[in-house]
Structure 1
Amino acid sequence: MIYRFIILDFDGTLADSAAWTTRALIEGAERHGYRRLDEAGVEALRGLDNRAIIRSLGLPFWKLPGIARDMRRRMAAEAGSIPLFPGSAGMLEALADRGATLSIVTSNAEENVRRILGPALCRRIALMECGASLFDKARRLRRVLRRAGAPAEAAIALGDEVRDIEAAREAGIAAGAVAWGYATRDLLASRRPDFLFDRMEEVAGALLPLSPAPKPPPGSPGATAAAPPARE
């Protein structure tokens, strides 16, 4: 299968926001009233899906929208310190050069996404759906498919969390997981995504394989002449 419409998560998939997220989770406990964490506690959360993380922190669901808004505001103030993963630009360029239509669906704010990506890479992105809530991604995925007029069978969503896999399946498209982001590789593998990538260099070739060049007909320019039979 060749996937011509590729929807990417942002944080943990393109942007290396792990250090920022760790600090924000530790500092946010007093502000938002959830269980206090240290760096080891944040690391332990990487092996849990989102519902288990919420239970572990002792968070009521009604607090989640306010926490998300606070996180987006804080990131807007500090977006200049958040880098892309090495290889993100090359992966996006390779996908676009092979004819993919690229979109981003993320819980982050569009202003933050555009600032971290920069103008050149933003021009490679056809559509953005930003500000998704924690369990709102499937609806956002369906919306970008409608906006693009893309068939579901030609689309795949790539993300670094279990909720990205779940959202892709709910939206009726293929699910790809990346092992360099937030959730652990073992947790992602346990949800059996259609693809599980360990390196960015693997993505373009797996989703948009190049067809081998057709062999020229015999006698045409570029055709290889058959070797004469060996003399005895």
Structure 2
Amino acid sequence: MAARRGDARAARPVKPLLALFDVDGTLFLTHDPLSSEALLETLREVYPADPADDAVERVDHAGQTAKRNARLVLRAEGLDDRAIDAQLDAWCGCFAERYVELLAGADTSGWEATPGASEALERLAAAGIRLALLTGNPETMARARMERLGLERFFPPGQGAFGCDAESRVDLIDLARARAGGWPADATVELGDTRRDEESARAAGIRAIHVDARRFEAVADRLLDWAER
């Protein structure tokens, strides 16, 4: 049987490349109401605010970090940035903990990883591309999701950057590069599905690949093309 195109390419030498993967809409396709539930419950516990159940949907939340979404919701509730900042780190830890508690009792049998993601990540890892998560999710939340989806083995601990680490996605990119030993910007790529993913990559001086969930293998091909140049 003829070798797949990806099999042949994975054997070629590639230059070191750091690939930073978003989670929601990139590796994980299922709408997850547990996230908003945990976010709102913990905002009500930590802050003098009582946001409505649809408060997250009312703000510009797509592609944002956990801390940024909290700020947007709390501003809409009338809190100023000084009051928000005073408890933001503590809130984010509570949010992550509450999400994991909710997830422990949830039926996630219907959760869907992006079709072809596991196979594509296998190809990239075999080619020597360094893989890490770059997401607005808190780390425990992101890794719990990857575990449920069977993708956790591709993303080693101590690497990547997460939504409680910083509010700005640009800062997350800088942190992920630092955690990879000061990985050069010109050898770093962010992979995501939103406009913010691409904008933050440009602002951080790295490249970006827009992920089409229907064509994840094509995303891997493009990344390997860059690595072989």
1:123-149 per-position Cα deviation (integer Å, ceiling 9, x unaligned): 222534346434254333224334266
Identity of aligned residues (%): 24
Distance in 2 separating the partners of 1:125 and 1:67:
25
Structure 1 position 208 matched with structure 2 position 221: yes
Distance in 1 separating the partners of 2:95 and 2:49:
14
Aligned pair partner of 1:140 in 169, 172, 180: 172
Q: Output aligned runs, 1:187-206, within 5 Å.
A: 195=210, 197=211, 199-206=212-219
Distance in 2 separating the partners of 1:82 and 1:66:
28
In 2, are the aligned partners of 1:102 and 1:124 still within 8 Å (CA)?
A: yes
Which residue of structure 1 aligns with residue 59 of structure 2?
Answer: 45
1:25-79 per-position Cα deviation (integer Å, ceiling 9, x unaligned): 443453222352133x432224677465553243433132222111011022123
Larger Rg: 1
Q: TM-score, normalised by structure 1?
A: 0.61
Deviation for aligned residue 1:6: 1.7
Q: Kindly provide the amino acid, as one letter, of the partner of residue 76 in structure 2.
A: S
Indicate the structure whose relative CO is greater, using CA pairs within 8 Å and at least 6 residues apart. Answer: 2
Distance in 2 separating the partners of 1:79 and 1:26:
15
In 2, are the aligned partners of 1:153 and 1:174 still within 8 Å (CA)?
A: yes
CA separation of 1:172 and 1:156: change in aligned 2, threshold 3 A: same
Structure 1 position 22 matched with structure 2 position 36: yes
Structure 1 position 10 matched with structure 2 position 27: no
Q: TM-score, normalised by structure 2?
A: 0.61
Which residue of structure 1 aligns with residue 203 of structure 2?
Answer: 170
Aligned pair partner of 2:132 in 103, 127, 146: 103
- Measured on the aligned residues, the alpha-carbon RMSD in Å equals 3.8
Which residue of structure 1 aligns with residue 9 of structure 2?
Answer: none
In 1, are the aligned partners of 2:44 and 2:51 still within 8 Å (CA)?
A: yes
Distance in 2 separating the partners of 1:97 and 1:118:
19
Which residue of structure 2 aligns with residue 36 of structure 1?
Answer: 51
Q: Kindly provide the amino acid, as one letter, of the partner of residue 86 in structure 1.
A: E
Distance in 1 separating the partners of 2:118 and 2:16:
14
Q: Kindly provide the amino acid, as one letter, of the partner of residue 9 in structure 1.
A: D
Higher mean Cα deviation, 81-90 or 22-31?
Answer: 81-90
Q: Secondary structure at the match of 1:129?
A: coil
Which residue of structure 2 aligns with residue 56 of structure 1?
Answer: 76
The structure whose residues are more often strand, as a share, is 1
Distance in 2 separating the partners of 1:47 and 1:155:
25
Which residue of structure 2 aligns with residue 74 of structure 1?
Answer: 98
Distance in 2 separating the partners of 1:90 and 1:200:
9
Distance in 2 separating the partners of 1:167 and 1:103:
16
Distance in 2 separating the partners of 1:47 and 1:110:
18
- Number of paired residues? 189
Which residue of structure 2 aligns with residue 93 of structure 1?
Answer: 119
Distance in 1 separating the partners of 2:146 and 2:102:
14
1:144-183 per-position Cα deviation (integer Å, ceiling 9, x unaligned): 334266442342223456654454233211244xxxxxxx
Distance in 1 separating the partners of 2:218 and 2:97:
37
Q: Secondary structure at the match of 1:88?
A: coil
Q: Kindly provide the amino acid, as one letter, of the partner of residue 79 in structure 1.
A: L
